[in-house]
Amino acid sequence: MPMLRSWPFCLVLFVSALATAADQSPPADAPAKPAPKPDEKILREQTIYVPYSKLPKVFEQPGRGVFLPYEEFQKLWEQARAALAKPPEGKPPVAALLTEINSEATVGEDVVSVTANLKIELLTEGWHEVPLRLGDAAILSARQGDQPARIVAKPDVGYVLLLQKKTPEPEQIAVTLQYSKAFTKSPGQNVVSFQAPQAPVNQWRIRVPQAGVKVNVQPLVAATEEPPPAAAAGDAPAPKPLPKPETVVMAFVGAAPSVQIDWTPKAEGATGLTALATVQTEQQVSIDEGVVRTRAQLAYTISRAELAELAIEVPADQKVLNVFDPNVKEWKVAQAGDLSKITVQLYQPAKETQRLLIEMEKFSDDLLQKPIAAPVVRALGVGRQQGVVVVQVAQTLRAEPATRVGLLQLDANELPPTLANTPWNFSFRFPAVPFELTLRAEKVQPQIQTHELVEAYLEPERLTLDLLALYKIERASVFQLELDVPRGFEVRAVRGHAAAGAEAVVVDTHHVTAGEKSQHVVVNLARKAIGHVGLFVELQRQLEAPDLLSFTGKALSVPLPLPRVSATKEIERSVGRLLVYAPENLSINPVKTDGVQAISFAEALQDTVSTRAGRFRVTREVLAYAYTQAPVDLNLSVERRKPDVTVRQLLLARVEAGVIKYEATFFYEIRYSSVKSLRLDVPAALVTGKQLRNLTPAVASEAPLDPQPDDVQKEGPGAMIALALTRKGEAEFLGNVTIKFEWDRKIGDLPVGKPFEETVPVLQPHKKSVDRAWGQVVVAKAETLDLRPMDDPMGLRPIDPQHDLMPGVRVADAARAWEFQEDWKLKLSVTRYELVEVKRGSIERAVIRMEVTRSGVIAVQALYRLRSVLQRLPVVLPREANFDTDPLRINGRSVALESEEPTAAVGSVPAGTAPDAAPAASDRAGATAEVAWAGSPAGGPSSGGREYFIPLAGHKADESLLLELRYTMPGSYRRLDLPVFPSDPAVQKVYLCAYVPQELKVLGSRGPWTDEMSWSWYETLSGLPQPIRRDDQLVAWVIEGLNVPNPFQDFATDGRLYTFSTLQPAKPPGGSLRLVAVHKHVLHGLVFALVLVAGLLTIRRPLPQKLAIGVLLVMVLLAIGVFAPAFARQVMDGALLTAILVVAVAWLAWHVARAWSQIAAAWARRRTARAAASPSPPATSPPAPAAAAASPFATQEGGPTNE
């Protein structure tokens, strides 16, 4: 039985064992069995026991299977365990690698042959590709042991070695490889490069069949040269023949991508024949002051044999500086008489071509005193020498050929390409050597043209001369400049100056030498000057002339000598301009103008620029002249001008309660010369009464003149006193001087409505002591006073006191103003009036947005555009008002809201008061701390408010500002209260935007508010009324013209918007907005029910009565629209239309049914009539009574009736 119960498990193990055995290979240690032939059948026999009883029960169970004996099960179990997969072994990172390479390279005549022994290690089974590279070489042989190696060519990697490994163990293979490549031959060096196989151990042995050859290997990790084998001893019995001379180098290059070998080739020539050479010469001769430099390029063309040594012959007076070429090993110079022989040893004998570059020079102090010979560079031992000789002369020298033998002059276009890009003075071709070329050179003298600008600054104390000399130097440079400056002047500055495209010269030193008529200035330059350069010289001389320091009426003769560029032989042309500057207080007139011509100021600065550069600001241009190289004699007459005095007077009268305050300000402008004192004529009453007060500390005294001048009125109402105004110490008045006086005139208390007359006193500068006098009279008054001139003011012209006052004067509260140029007289009438209190603030525009939430809380955003003169604006808010983080903003800036009451908890009620009781009045006189809101209905705010203060300090009363209040308060739509301003400002139009929950229908409103909603037929049907102006448009209307951020997005809203407006809103509760609303489902249900009930009750009425009922319904709706428009608009929506349609359909159905019954009755009567008219057979049986009743055309007794 246990075996019977375990047969399903045994069957599963058997099947898995068979599958595993089929998939897995036999173990490695098991002996390999011969594979069966394809046509041989494999017989596998297995005994299976099948139960004979209860067979359906056993095999039809969910765990059915095959039963085996236990021995067979053990056997299958062991086979299954043995066939389990073993864990995979780790694979090497590479399949094959080159471990070592030994290469031996042998240099032949044209190629280099390499024999390389490669050691390769194969790590995995299968086929492997080992890269040999050698894409640039030819493979001669490849052997793997005794067998040829498999080599495959690939375009991208070169050659690869193909190997196969059959066993799993690592295997080492040796491969012998032979390849070769032609090397590149060049004079003095042969080069060959291989893209050889790469291995970490890479050894090269290079054999060159010549002793003492220098061999270079790149890259080189380590290298050594094997010494040649020693010769056999002389006493050896049988000496072996000596090996051929060769150079052997061993090098380790590592895993290099390429190997380059270069060596000196073996020279071979024609045996028994001498070399045949020709030379092509390019000789360059440069001549400068004191030196001749030569650069000769010799190009040898060699045939028939090789040249290991070259010889060149040059003049002995030439110093050989260099002989250059990569193949030059050494060179030496030997002098023999007038010639020098240059012997050149080469690294490798020249076989075909060889180039030499020879550089020479010759120094001589008297080089320009005798002809300059071009050196002849002659190659010795050549069959023919020809070439080109070119000469370049420095810009400071001028040369011309003196002797020319064996030379043919060339054009610049005929020069070789190597010489064609350089400008040469002379170029010649010589067919053979020697040739003769001598040149005469001389130093080029500079050609100089100058343009001078002399600026003379004539001041009362000194005379300053600035010379700007612009040089145009051609042909040769100079290191020294010379000037002639007038005697008596001090040289204050000498420097380079860049102007008008000229560069500044670099001045090293300068020295002044006194002469008979002038001073000679020599300027040494640190660098040579050529082209356009500029030099600046400043001279100065003190003028000891008292007549120029103050006005005396005497003229002074001032000679004006000019600094000039010295007229040396290098100066070809010199022109100049003269500009004379002087202050306004000096009058200058030319007396003698020899050698100069008057020109305009603009012409004087043409082609040059002034060096004034902000200096001498008080001077101005007075004279301008042009001159040439001719002598100049200029003399000026200078005189100090008399003083020019201009005075402006500002007389300010401030009329206040009980006093008139006068301020007299005199603005003197004194030009040219100073004055010691100023005369001012003032009313005698001001001086005798000591009312005149001097507010200018710089004025020492204002004493009356003693005796008084005859032109002063001494008696009468218009008596005047002349005052002398002087400064402290010995200072005098000059330039802009401001003198200020003030005095008071008491007028006592003015009665209301009674005019008071006042004659404005006149303070007048003396007419003969000033050149021009004018002024303005300005009157300022208090708000309670009215001021007007009496009669016609004499000598006065009315002006605008806000725009026409003299420059630098502003009187903000000026009421009237006049201007005078001559004598004037003004009499004023002053009247006092009582002030009437006006509103101290104005709310120009206002929008209040209220969000009525379903939780019984109203969120308020109040926006006011207002102006106010108050520094603290009071506002009363509901006592239950709660604030967020920014309850008050002014022009978008958060401001703290102030209150004089102690702060209570949010939503709390003051102690001792009932929630509906009005708070007690404040004890502070005139305070409006609270506003009583009595009669508050249920759902509205409490009966009391709390006073807060809005700080407006820093804001101008005449500028509008944006005031924003934010708070929340408990309440509902039944009462919406606005903030109250106790200061009672003037309020214009106010908009209230109320957001009501979507489910409420506003049927109407109460209060002094105007509905601002737009109702159209499609809006009526949809039940969604729209405001005429949305709240975002109203917010933009409030902030229009104000530079403030838009606060519309900062206030979150939800629900349906209803807009109302009012003018001059009253205080709550009289000015509150009360909305009447009902749930939309209730309203729709009531309307639908009423219309449906009314329609069903009248369904049996005749059609005319129903039409009358419809007309009556329309009239009722129109009447409701007149007296309750909001209610009518809410009622006339989709619900009403639906109810009317339902009633209309019911009526129509009823009338159709009635009509159908009438038609059926008519058809029945017609059939009865037809039956009665025609004969009918006697009836066998009476008709069934129910037949008539079942007829659809049965009618009631009496026939149809019309109701």
Q: What is the pLDDT of residues 1082-1141, one digit of tens each?
A: 877 887 788 888 877 887 788 787 788 777 877 877 777 666 666 766 777 777 778 888
pLDDT at 910 over 60: no
Q: How far apart are CA 1023 and CA 811, in angstroms?
A: 63
Taking all residues of the chain, what is their mean pLDDT, rounded to a whole number?
82
Q: Tell which residue, 180, 182, 195, has the closest CA to residue 113.
A: 180
pLDDT at 1179 over 50: no
Q: The tokens of 612 are what? A: 């004034």
Q: Tell which residue, 502, 507, 631, has the closest CA to residue 576.
A: 631
Residue 545: band (very low, low, confident or very high) from pLDDT cuts 50, 70, 90: confident
Q: The tokens of 491 are what? A: 């040289």
Residue 491: band (very low, low, confident or very high) from pLDDT cuts 50, 70, 90: very high
Question: What is the C-alpha end-to-end distance of the chain, expressed in Å?
Answer: 102
Instruction: For the beta carbon of residue 359, count every other beta carbon within 10 angstroms.
Output: 15
Residue 806: band (very low, low, confident or very high) from pLDDT cuts 50, 70, 90: very high
Question: Which CATH number does the domain 276-443 belong to among 3.30.420, 2.60.40, 3.40.1000, 3.10.310?
Answer: 2.60.40
Cα 454 off chain centre by? 48
Out of 328-337, 622-631, 1151-1160, pick the least confident.
1151-1160
Q: How far apart are CA 697 and CA 694, in angstroms?
A: 8
CATH domain 96-228+244-263 topology: Immunoglobulin-like (2.60.40)
Composition of the chain by helix, strand, coil, percent to 5: 15, 45, 40
Q: What is the pLDDT of residues 968-1004, one digit of tens each?
A: 999 988 899 999 999 889 898 999 999 999 888 888 8
pLDDT at 232 over 60: no
Out of 54-63, 79-88, 543-552, pick the least confident.
54-63
Residue type, 974: R
Is the torsion defined by CA of 471, 476, 478, 482 positive or negative?
A: negative
Q: How far apart are CA 912 and CA 609, in angstroms?
A: 93
Per the CB < 8 A criterion, the answer to whether 675 and 645 are in contact is: yes
* Residue/partner pairs of 724-727 with CB below 8 Å, 24 or more apart: 724/677, 724/678, 724/679, 725/677, 725/678, 725/679, 725/680, 725/699, 725/701, 726/676, 726/677, 726/699, 726/700, 726/701, 727/698, 727/699, 727/700
Highest averaged pLDDT of the listed ranges 536-545, 782-791, 1106-1115, 1188-1197: 536-545
Residue 498: band (very low, low, confident or very high) from pLDDT cuts 50, 70, 90: very high
pLDDT score recorded for residue 351: 84
pLDDT score recorded for residue 919: 38
Out of 21-35, 301-315, 387-401, pick the least confident.
21-35
**What would the mean pLDDT of 705-725 be, rounded to a whole number?**
83
Q: How far apart are CA 299 and CA 315, in angstroms?
A: 20
pLDDT score recorded for residue 242: 52
Per the CB < 8 A criterion, the answer to whether 97 and 173 are in contact is: no
pLDDT at 1005 over 60: yes
Per the CB < 8 A criterion, the answer to whether 128 and 138 are in contact is: no
pLDDT score recorded for residue 240: 53
Percent with pLDDT over 90 in the chain: 35
**What would the mean pLDDT of 766-774 be, rounded to a whole number?**
88
Which is more confident, 266 or 796? 796
Cis peptide before 801 (omega within 30 of 0): no
> Measured between alpha carbons, how far is residue 834 from residues 464, 831, 861 in Å?
71, 10, 41
pLDDT at 911 over 50: no
**What would the mean pLDDT of 858-867 be, rounded to a whole number?**
93
pLDDT score recorded for residue 9: 44
Q: What is the pLDDT of residues 355-394, one digit of tens each?
A: 999 999 999 888 888 899 999 999 999 989 999 999 999 8
Per the CB < 8 A criterion, the answer to whether 364 and 290 are in contact is: yes
pLDDT score recorded for residue 672: 86
Q: What is the pLDDT of residues 589-621, one digit of tens each?
A: 999 999 999 999 999 998 899 998 888 988 999
pLDDT score recorded for residue 821: 92
**What would the mean pLDDT of 533-553 be, rounded to a whole number?**
89
CATH architecture of 841-901+934-1072: Sandwich (2.60)
pLDDT score recorded for residue 167: 85
Sheet hosting strand 772-781, strand order edge to edge: 693-694, 733-748, 658-675, 644-656, 772-781, 814-820, 797-798
Which is more confident, 194 or 44? 194
pLDDT at 865 over 90: yes
pLDDT at 1 over 50: no
Residue 39: band (very low, low, confident or very high) from pLDDT cuts 50, 70, 90: very low
pLDDT at 26 over 70: no
Which is more confident, 1142 or 622? 622
pTM greater than 0.85 (yes/no)? no
Q: Tell which residue, 278, 273, 492, has the closest CA to residue 387.
A: 278
Residue type, 688: T
pLDDT at 298 over 90: yes
Residue type, 241: P
Question: Which CATH number does the domain 447-640 belong to among 3.30.70, 2.10.260, 3.40.1280, 2.60.40?
Answer: 2.60.40
